Every structure is written in structure tokens, then in C-alpha cells.
Amino acid sequence: MRYFLKLAYNGTAYHGWQVQPGDVTVQDVLQKSMGLLLRKKMVVVGAGRTDTGVHASEYFAHFDSEETLNHDFALRLNSLLPKDIAVYQIHQMTDEAHARFDALSRTYEYTITTRKDPFLLDKAYYSWGKIDLAQMNQAAEILKTYCDFEAFSKTKTTVNNYLCRIDEANWRQEGELFIFKITANRFLRNMVRAIVGTMLDIGRGKRTPESLHEIITSKNRLNAGASAPAQGLSLIKISYPESIFRSQ
């Protein structure tokens, strides 16, 4: 039987989601904890990579088990997991359901604080000074008119194409916080952080919103801004078709 786990994690202590030799990752910790609980080696497939230090308030991963599992399994698993990883729900799925390939969209938020705040040390990027919200939102509207985002992709990555459909992109201000929200059917490696770094240049007056046209059409990462630091980025939502969930 195939199951989905709905979980969340603070990524500060981890080298991202995906297992990497010699590094502590969320996937590695989760698989080992599940293995202890089920007394066998477990393979868990995540919805996608997150970079070192990036957080997720909603993340999904799938695995197979011959045992019938319910919410009690999630409770017992939480007792084995460290404090910075939490499992919220377990869902029985159709046999072919896939946490990565069946995702319809993913939503990220990036948080910038213009006030030094020790309580946001690992959850926001501190960047003092005035930021022009209107200019960054103008840039966000331009962003949605394109589909090839090679200029914001990490170089030397193995992908078939750089095409993404951005459904939502906007900035909002909450006091000293500037929060960027973006939803797309897929994201390239480092894409959101590269976009945020470029838009922050626009908000600081170092670039104009119209400069995005030239950056994107150049398909050259060197023409975009520096990547914003990882700690401000959180994966907050993943959408799936209802058809892959088994009726309870």
C-alpha cells in the first residue's frame, strides 16, 4: 500500500531534503526513524529538493508499506523524530501516486526583515534600509509573463528544460517584514532565491522593473542578481489532484 506523509521541518540544521553522503538531511533522518519504527529499511520519496537551510511548513513524501497504517503511526513517528521535524498526517493513496510527479503546484514564501530581530534569525533575511514595494510588485507582474527561467537557475544542473508556469507572484508588507509569495507548477534549482535577490536589487533602486525583460531573455544566470540567503525561504504549500487520494 502507498502512503503520503504530510510533514514540516525547520531546515536550519539540515543540508536540504535529499540524502547526501556525509551530510545530515531531512530525508535521511526521516527514513532512519521510520526504519526503527517499522523494523525494516525504508525508502521515502519526497515532493522535491529543498536547499540547505530552507524550511518547509507543508511538505509531502510517499512510501510503501505492507502494514495498514493510521494516525497512530504518525504520532509514534513524531516521538522518534527530532524537534525540528514534525509529521502531521498520513494518507493512504492510490498505488501509483507520486509525491513529486503528481504535484500540480508548489508555493514558496520568502521573508525579508528590515529590522534586526533575534527571533527571526533563522526564518528571515535581515536587510536594512528602504525597500520600494511598488517597484518589486511591478517586477513580479513582469515575471508572470514569461515561462523560460534559465536566467534564475543554478548552473550545471541536469534538467530537460527551464520552462515553468508561474501562477502567482507578489510582495506584501507586514510592518518591518517584506514577504514574497510565488506559486508555479515547478521550480528550478535556486530559482526562487535568485528571483528574490534580483527583485531586492529592484526594490533598492539598483535595477528597474523593466530590466527583468533583458535578464530573462538573456537566459544567463550572470545577468541576474545574487541569490538571497536560504534562511528566508519556506515551502508553504503543495497541491495534488484529489483523484490520487483513496477515499477513507
pLDDT tens-digit map of 36-87: 999 999 999 999 999 999 999 999 999 999 989 999 999 999 999 999 999 9
Average pLDDT over residues 188-217: 97
Report the chain's mean pLDDT, rounded to a whole number: 95
Catalytic position from the list 28, 51, 102, 201: 51
- Specify the amino acid at residue 80: L
Q: Which domains, from first to last, does the chain contain? A: 2-102 (3.30.70.580), 105-236 (3.30.70.660)
- Structure confidence at residue 247 (pLDDT): 63
| DSSP annotation of 245 | B
Q: At what angle do helices 133-143 and 191-203 cross, to 10 degrees?
A: 140
Residue 58 in 3-state DSSP?
A: strand
Residue 51 a catalytic site member: yes
